Amino acid sequence: MKKENIRMRLSSESKMILDKLQKDIYSKQGYEVSYSSLVSQAVRQFVPKKESLNWIQLKETPLKFSSVEQSNNWEYQTSFMLEEDVLALLSELQNFFLDVFQAKRIHRAFCVRLCLKAQFLSNSNS
């Protein structure tokens, strides 16, 4: 499947979640995974469940290691190699979030952040 290099400005909270997920996989399974594969996994896992999740509550759920400033600080600029299906799922989620959050525009980075947060919280609860 074709991959595309996508540049994104992530929140500090997203970067911390990526670091924690990466360390968790390394400590449990002994191998390193890229940020791109973590994003792809989270998007593929949670976009199909989009109707059954309370995204507003998820957005507002505080994480022990984060704060409001970190979730609203979008300074971390990076790029991901994402496959076409992941990009299509992100577009689907962007459109879905327009109604959920009553917004005129939703950025991909916001969708990535909420999928990563859902992934992190589901790993923490299992």
Q: pLDDT by residue (tens digit) across 78-88? A: 999 999 999 99
Which residue in the block uniquely carries the two structure tokens 């990535």?
112
pLDDT of residue 45: 97
pLDDT number for residue 77: 86
The beta strand positions in 14-115, using DSSP E, are 76-83
75 is written with which tokens?
Answer: 């300074």
Cβ–Cβ under 8 Å, residues 117 and 61 = yes
pTM score: 0.92
Give yes or no for residue 69 having a pLDDT over 90: no
Domain that holds residue 96: 3-125
pLDDT, one tens digit per residue, over 72-125 is: 777 788 999 999 999 999 999 999 999 999 999 999 999 999 999 999 999 887
Q: Number of folded domains in the chain?
A: 1
Here the tokens at position 47 are 């976009």
